[in-house]
Structure 1
Amino acid sequence: MINVIGLGYIGLPTALMLASHGVEVVGTDYNRKLVDTLNEGRTTFKEEGLEELFREAREAGIRFTTEYRRTDTYIVSVPTPYDKFSKKVDAGYVVAAVKDVLKVCPKGATIIIESTISPGTVDKYIRPEIEAMGFRTGEDIHLVHAPERIIPGNMVYELLHNNRTIGADSREIGEKVKECYASFCRGEIVVTDIRTAEMTKVVENTFRAVNIAFANELARICRHDDMNVYEIIRICNMHPRVNILQPGPGVGGHCISVDPWFLVGDYPQLAKVIDESMKTNDSQPTFVLNRIYEIMQKEGITDNRKVGLYGLTYKENVDDYRESPTLQLLEAQERHLARPLKVYDPFIARDITANQYHDFDEFLEGIDLVVIMVKHDHIKRNWEKLKGKIILDCFNICPLEGTYHI
């Protein structure tokens, strides 16, 4: 049996995938309301294919509880926030989960950490706690780091098809854990050491963050001299060794917007390019806000109640709004404009910010300027409703003539 600790955006799909592929699974989370919801047969967030996977896992006998179970294998998938001042990872949730596992697990148990952690976290924070409780790592407790590699909006597919990395103290334990993930994973599974596994996950997200920062900086340069950044990128990408990403309103979520800061925090004198790239991405929502203000002045809009932000989530077609560019923009907006801008997102059913609307037509009523902050499929089906509006398109997806861009 595998006890999956933490039933959020990563832990729940992982638990469901294992259970639906014949592994006995118990999912544990301290959030009783979340556990009750799952036991009532309802998922806790929206995701393509999740409902079907949930149904298959329940039919296979998956159980959900607030209590840790005694077994020989644990998967820890709890949050790893970072301190915005020091830029260092907060391993507190992972350490607490491991300590709770040690209260119930037998000797010889394997603890697999899926949570994204900065290089050296296992050695600095987790291994000492285990040994302080009288266990010997590598003998009484086997530690493994198997970082997740999935993205909201395509989790189920990526769980099945993405390659994986297994970092372990010994090859034998690594191969054993590999067999566990091979029960459902069709991608290549690489076994390595823990420190390498820690580093590779952070580097993957850092690579993407730096690429996005380059595209965003390029957009600013082109805006300064009135050049078409999208045409420039299109032509440059015709070169066989060039692949520039598209600029956008900022970076959100709990991976690309967070993980690279782990390297900046741990290596402040070395991670210079990463540091500047993250600063560029973090300031992009403010850049968009300034662009909104420019357009308001040009179009004679004096009341910011005539401006609406479309999209609150950090990416398209999901209900995950962690670190979203829209929320970052709204925070910056408090320092620039008197009243909060109108906001709408078809995937967010409850109020998470001021002046939020839940009906698209009501949101559009009285708005002169619509800012596309998220490229949901919903907006692509409703271009007709935007005719006659002034549009700031942060993704170059709007087909209507006269659309402004960042």
Structure 2
Amino acid sequence: MINVIGLGYIGLPTALMMASHGLEVIGTDYNKELVATLNVGKTTFKEEGLEELFNLALNAGIKFTTEYQVTDTYIVSVPTPYDKFSKKVDACYVVSAIKSIMDVCLKGATVVIESTVSPGTIDKYVRPALQQCGYVIGEDINLVHAPERIIPGNMIYELLHNNRTIGADDKSIGEKVKKIYTSFCQGEIVVTDIRTAEMTKVVENTFRAVNIAFANELAKICRHDNMDVYEIISICNMHPRVNILQPGPGVGGHCISVDPWFLVGDYPSLAKVIDEAMKTNDGMPDFILNRIYEIMKENNISDFSRVGLYGLSYKENVDDSRESPTLQLLESQERHLAIPLKTYDPYFEHDIVPNQYHEFDKFLGDIDLIVIMVSHNQIKENMNKLKGKIVFDTRRCCDLPGTYKI
């Protein structure tokens, strides 16, 4: 039996996928309300294909509880926040989960940490916690790191098809864990050591963050001299060895906006390019806010209440607002003591910010300038409703005449 610890954006889909592919799974989370919701047959967030997978897992016998289980296999998918000042990972939730597992696990149990951590975290925090409790690693308990590689909005497909990395002290243990993931994962699964597995996951997200930062910096340069950054990137990407990503209003989520900081925090004198790239991305919400001011001035709009931000999530078609550029922009605006801009997002039924609307047409009726912060399918399918509005499109999804771009 596999006990999956943490039933959030990563743990829940992983548990459901394993259960639906014939493995006996019990999911554990400290959040009683979340567990109660799952036990009455309801999912806790929106994701394409999640309901269907949830029903398959329920039919296969998956169970949910707040209690850690007595078993020989655990998968830990708890949050790994970072300190915004030191830029170092906070491994407290991982260590807490490990200690709780030690209270109940069978001798020789294998603990698979899926949570993304900085290189060396398991050596610095997890091993000492085990050793302090008298556990002999490799005998009383086996450690494995299998970092998740999925993203909200495409979780089900990526769980099935993305390649995986499994890091283990003992290759034979790594191969056993590989068999668990092979039950559903159709991608290539590489077995290596733990520190390499830690590093590869962080490096993957750092590569993308640096690429996005380059695109964002190009956008600022092109804006300064009135050039079309999108056309320039499109032409450059015709070169067979060039693949520049698209600029945007900022970087959100709990991967690209967070993981690269782990390297900056651990290697401050070495990770200079990464540090500057992250600062560039973190500065984009302020850049967008300044563009809003410019567009307001150009169109003789003096009342902030006539401006609306479309989208509160960090990416399209999900209800995940972690590190959302829109929320970052609103925080910046609040520091300037301005009236909060109106907001709307079809994926959020409850208020998460002031001046939040829950009806699209009412939102549009109360504004003159709409700022597209997220390219949800809803907005792309209702562009005709934006006619007559001043549109500032930060996601390159609107082709209406006169649309302002980054």
Q: TM-score, normalised by structure 2?
A: 0.99
1:24 to 2:24 alignment: yes
Amino acid at match of 1:87: K
How many residues get paired? 406
Percent of paired sites with the same residue? 77
1:240 to 2:243 alignment: no
Kindly provide the CA deviation profile for residues 314-333 of structure 1, in whole angstroms up to 9, marking residues without a partner as x.
Answer: 00000000000000000001
Number of the residue aligned with 1:293: 293
Q: Equivalent residue of 2:167, what SS?
A: strand
Number of the residue aligned with 1:230: 230
Number of the residue aligned with 2:164: 164
Kindly provide the CA deviation profile for residues 317-365 of structure 1, in whole angstroms up to 9, marking residues without a partner as x.
Answer: 0000000000000000113352100000001111000000000011111
* Aligned counterparts, 1:306-325, within 5 A: 306-325=306-325
Amino acid at match of 1:109: A
Q: Report deviation, 1:133.
A: 0.6
Number of the residue aligned with 1:92: 92
Kindly provide the CA deviation profile for residues 294-332 of structure 1, in whole angstroms up to 9, marking residues without a partner as x.
Answer: 000111000010100000000000000000000000000
Taking the aligned partners of 2:231 and 2:64, their CA distance within structure 1 comes to 51
Number of the residue aligned with 2:14: 14
- Asked whether the equivalents of residues 304 and 337 of structure 1 are also in contact (C-alpha less than 8 Å), the reply is no
Q: Equivalent residue of 1:111, what SS?
A: strand
Taking the aligned partners of 1:105 and 1:366, their CA distance within structure 2 comes to 57
Taking the aligned partners of 1:239 and 1:153, their CA distance within structure 2 comes to 30
Amino acid at match of 1:395: R
Q: Equivalent residue of 1:131, what SS?
A: helix
**Which structure 1 segments of 5+ residues have no match?**
none
Amino acid at match of 1:244: I
Taking the aligned partners of 2:383 and 2:105, their CA distance within structure 1 comes to 56
- Asked whether the equivalents of residues 250 and 283 of structure 1 are also in contact (C-alpha less than 8 Å), the reply is yes
* Aligned counterparts, 1:53-202, within 5 A: 53-202=53-202
**Which structure 2 segments of 5+ residues have no match?**
none
Amino acid at match of 2:375: K
Q: Report deviation, 1:387.
A: 0.3
Amino acid at match of 1:26: I
Taking the aligned partners of 1:347 and 1:219, their CA distance within structure 2 comes to 29
Taking the aligned partners of 2:197 and 2:108, their CA distance within structure 1 comes to 22
Kindly provide the CA deviation profile for residues 235-287 of structure 1, in whole angstroms up to 9, marking residues without a partner as x.
Answer: 11111111111100000000000000000000000000000000000010000
Number of the residue aligned with 2:36: 36
Kindly provide the CA deviation profile for residues 84-128 of structure 1, in whole angstroms up to 9, marking residues without a partner as x.
Answer: 000000000000000000000011000000000000000000000
Taking the aligned partners of 2:102 and 2:131, their CA distance within structure 1 comes to 11
Taking the aligned partners of 2:334 and 2:10, their CA distance within structure 1 comes to 33
Kindly provide the CA deviation profile for residues 38-87 of structure 1, in whole angstroms up to 9, marking residues without a partner as x.
Answer: 00000000001100000000000000000000000000000000000000
Q: Equivalent residue of 1:334, what SS?
A: helix
Q: Equivalent residue of 1:191, what SS?
A: strand
Number of the residue aligned with 2:370: 370
Amino acid at match of 1:351: D
Taking the aligned partners of 1:176 and 1:395, their CA distance within structure 2 comes to 43
Taking the aligned partners of 1:172 and 1:122, their CA distance within structure 2 comes to 19
Q: Equivalent residue of 1:105, what SS?
A: coil
* Aligned counterparts, 1:309-388, within 5 A: 309-336=309-336, 338-388=338-388
Coordinate RMSD, CA, aligned:
0.6
Taking the aligned partners of 1:77 and 1:235, their CA distance within structure 2 comes to 41
Amino acid at match of 2:316: E
Taking the aligned partners of 1:82 and 1:341, their CA distance within structure 2 comes to 29
Runs ≥4 residues deviating over 6 A:
none
